[in-house]
Amino acid sequence: MSLAEAIPEIPRIVVPRTAGVIALDPPLTGPARDQAMARIKHLLRERDAVLVAHYYVDEALQRIAEETGGTVSDSLDMARFGHEHPASTIVVAGVRFMGETAKILNPEKRVLIPSLEAECSLDLECPADDFIPFCDAHPERTVVVYSNTSAAVKARADYVVTSSIAVKLVAHLHRQGKKIIWAPDKHLGAYVQAQTGADMLMWNGSCVVHDEFRAQALEQLKARHPEAAVLVHPESPASVIALADAVGSTTQLIDAARTLPNPAFIVATDNRIFHKMRQAAPGKTLIEAPTGGHGATCRSCAHCPWMAMNSLRALLKTLETGEGEIHVEEKTRVKAQQATQRMLDFAAELRREVMGLGDA
């Protein structure tokens, strides 16, 4: 009997979401948790696998990635790390599009994720069957899609971007006189447009977590904590971004917590980022930004329901059984790789520029 099977079944918590109903495993605690973590570490070694975890997954999974030579990072660095790491299997603790990105870049490697049901509202709200005809109707525009999309949508794009690089890449295209189709996140798109002045035709998607942050409640919280800086992810509404002291990707927000002098931070992004923020800014106070009011889908949780499917149990089962393997049809993969590789090449060029090694 495997350890995953040996851990007693506990009644599942059912969380209603906009995209249906998601059943979450209650977290393991005490000796069962320690035992599962030790077994996962063993299996990672035995299976020649590396764990690549997003900042939004459970702290226990982040710790395993840190302690076994994997990484905890944003989606851009997850893609880069998995691509450069020599392990034959990449285990992506995140959501499905992150697993697909790993497979797109590493066709020769096995890519596993703890739950193939771990979706993303942005991905779900931008189906390829609708998006492709939309792009075809605007052939004069350059198609830029956020990484939170399916492989089929990436395959129709000219560029893939993550939030850490979106402003710079769109500004670069704008300087070349390009008009843009942007998908799927309307808030991030509006932020990029405001920063760059680019001509952008927007898709109307949003993130179920960030869309719930509310400006009025945030103003009230700021008034109670005047010493706190407000850190906001640009998937949040413009009214929330307007109150921010720092706006950026998850990695950029962690850097802001490290470098800003404030003793406290109000943080408008998934609260599982607090694990890395505490490491980056020890001793500082971290406060969750307030989420939606009456009738909201994610009130007071500030945690992605799909990221929450990355439980220790699910990760252990994936490693023991090989379930949760990501497959991407080859023709789609090749096209999606071109758009994703352009992002990685652009990011590399930017790094060279910052280091004074390039001329772009």
User: Residue numbers of the site for ligand SF4 (CB under 6 A)?
Assistant: 56, 95, 120-122, 148, 207-209, 235, 270, 304, 306-307
Of 262 and 269, CB closest to ligand SF4: 269
Coil/strand/helix, residue 321 = helix
Least separation in angstroms between CB 74 and ligand SF4: 10
Least separation in angstroms between CB 86 and ligand SF4: 28
Least separation in angstroms between CB 309 and ligand SF4: 10
* Tokens, residue 73: 């990072």
Least separation in angstroms between CB 88 and ligand SF4: 26
d(CA 126, CA 121): 9
Pick the closest to residue 341 from 5, 1, 76, 125 (CA basis): 76
Half-sphere exposure of 344 (CA within 13 A, CB side): 20
Least separation in angstroms between CB 203 and ligand SF4: 14
Of 37 and 122, CB closest to ligand SF4: 122
Least separation in angstroms between CB 30 and ligand SF4: 29
Of 81 and 146, CB closest to ligand SF4: 146
Of 149 and 318, CB closest to ligand SF4: 149
Residues 6+ apart with CB under 8 A from 4: 313, 316, 317, 320, 321
Angle at 153 between CA 319 and CA 51, to 5 degrees: 20
* DSSP output for 186-231: HHHHHHHHHHH---EEEP-B--TTGGG--HHHHHHHHHH-TTEEEE
Of 22 and 87, CB closest to ligand SF4: 22
Reported as type and span, the H/E element at residue 182 is: strand 180-183
Of 39 and 189, CB closest to ligand SF4: 189
